[in-house]
Amino acid sequence: MPTYSVPEAAALLSISPEYLYRLIHADGFPAVQLGVGETKGRYVVPAQAVERLLSEAADSAGIVDAAQWTGANRASGGAA
């Protein structure tokens, strides 16, 4: 599965990397933390999550709340 770095995903979403990190830490956007043991590693964002969020926003012609979208996709077994 392709992934984006946090700065790449932030650029696609037209937000700052710092804001995307805050969303990730607050469980407001899906990411995978890569690390070993207690070592905190870097985050990667699934490309599918970025694409689905943008697609849903375009399809709904409205606003998509990323935190609600992330929670709904986790509950339904979605990729987010």
Residue-wise pLDDT for 1-55, tens only, equals 899 999 999 999 999 999 999 999 998 899 999 988 777 789 999 999 999 888 8
What is the mean predicted confidence (pLDDT) over 51-73? 76
What is the mean predicted confidence (pLDDT) over 49-73? 77
What is the mean predicted confidence (pLDDT) over 47-67? 82
- Residue 74: pLDDT over 80: no
Domain ranges for the chain, please list them: 3-75
- Residue 64: pLDDT over 90: no
Q: What are residue 75's phi and psi, to 5 degrees?
A: -65, -35
Contact (Cβ atoms closer than 8 angstroms) between residue 57 and residue 63: yes
One of 3.30.420, 3.90.1720, 2.40.50, 1.10.1660 is the CATH number of 3-75, namely: 1.10.1660
Tokens of 65: 């709340």
